[in-house]
Structure formats: C-alpha cells, structure tokens
C-alpha cells in the first residue's frame, strides 16, 4: 500500500493544470469559457475522440479531433473522496490553504466537464465505446 503522501502526489499529477495556469490570462483569446458540447455533438462535428492522459489537454480540440481524458475510476469512489479529496480543516472557499491543495476543486471541475460531455443516453454509449468511462457503469 502506498503512503498517503504518495497517493496525494499521484492524485495531484492526475489533475495537474500547472501548464494552463501559466497561460490562464491569455485563454480568452481562443474562446469563451463554457461547458463542452456533448459527445454525440462532437461526433456530429466530425471530431474524432482522442484519448489523452494529460489533464491540461482535456477538451482541447482541433480540426477533426477532440482530446478527452478518461474518467479515472478513483473519482467514482466515495471512500477515495472521503480519504483524499475532502478538506476537513478549511472551508472550500479558501481551498488554497487547505490540505487538498486545490486537488478537490480540479477533480470537481473535471467531473463537471463529464456532466456536460455525457448529457444523453447516446453520449453515455459513446463514452463507453471510446473507453472514456468504465464499461461496467
């Protein structure tokens, strides 16, 4: 079993957005901040769904492609959230100073993106076909 610090480091790497934080002030140039279109609409736009394991590439799109990070199974575990992603000491509004170090907020943002990507039953099937979510869901 990994030590708690090792697991927290690993979760931090899974939801790492440092590269985007460096260019955050310039992102307005490429578009408005808005939820992604559902997966069936991505297909209607002739975008191939490409798997990426880098969080900072999640939902980046170009002609004919959209990069999507698969939903890690640990984000579907209530016990994992309770142990590693729930801040007990500090209110969520002050996330930078809590023990989660922003991991919780990034994980919630990632789940929010999936709520937009999987808006219909057809999106759920596309997510399974492309292995974005576990087949057994």
Residue 129 has pLDDT above 50, yes or no: yes
If one compares 57 and 119, the residue with the highest pLDDT of the two is 119
CA gap 38, 122 in Å, rounded: 9
Q: What is the pTM of this model?
A: 0.81
1: confidence class by pLDDT, cuts 50, 70, 90: very low
Residue 6 CA: distances (Å) to CA of 11, 40, 79, 84, 104: 9, 37, 17, 11, 16
pLDDT tens by residue, 4-24: 678 877 777 777 777 766 666
**99 neighbors 7 (Cβ within 8 angstroms):** no
Q: What is the pLDDT of residue 92?
A: 54
Tell me the backbone φ, ψ of residue 35, rounded to 5 degrees.
-60, 155
Say which residues have a Cβ less than 8 Å from residue 73's Cβ, sequence separation at least 6.
Answer: 134
Domain borders along the chain are: 4-129
**61 neighbors 47 (Cβ within 8 angstroms):** yes
Neighbours of 99 (CB within 10 A): 13
Residue 116 has pLDDT above 80, yes or no: yes
* Joined tokens for residue 14: 């899974």
Mean of per-residue pLDDT scores for the chain:
84
Residue 106 has pLDDT above 70, yes or no: yes
Q: What is the pLDDT of residue 71?
A: 96
100: confidence class by pLDDT, cuts 50, 70, 90: confident
Q: What is the pLDDT of residue 108?
A: 92
């Amino acid at each position: 079993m990994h030590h708690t610090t090792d697991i927290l480091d690993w979760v931090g790497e899974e939801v790492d957005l440092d590269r985007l934080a460096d260019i955050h002030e310039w992102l307005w140039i490429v578009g408005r901040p808005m939820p992604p279109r559902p997966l069936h609409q991505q297909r209607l736009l002739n975008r191939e769904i490409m798997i990426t394991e880098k969080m900072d590439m999640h939902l980046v799109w170009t002609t004919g492609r959209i990069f999507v990070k698969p939903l890690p199974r640990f984000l579907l575990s209530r016990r994992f959230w309770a142990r590693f992603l729930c801040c007990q000491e500090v209110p969520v509004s002050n996330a930078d100073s809590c023990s989660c170090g922003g991991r919780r907020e990034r994980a919630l943002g990632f789940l929010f993106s999936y709520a937009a990507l999987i808006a219909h039953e057809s999106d759920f099937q596309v997510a399974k076909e492309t292995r974005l979510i576990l087949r057994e869901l």
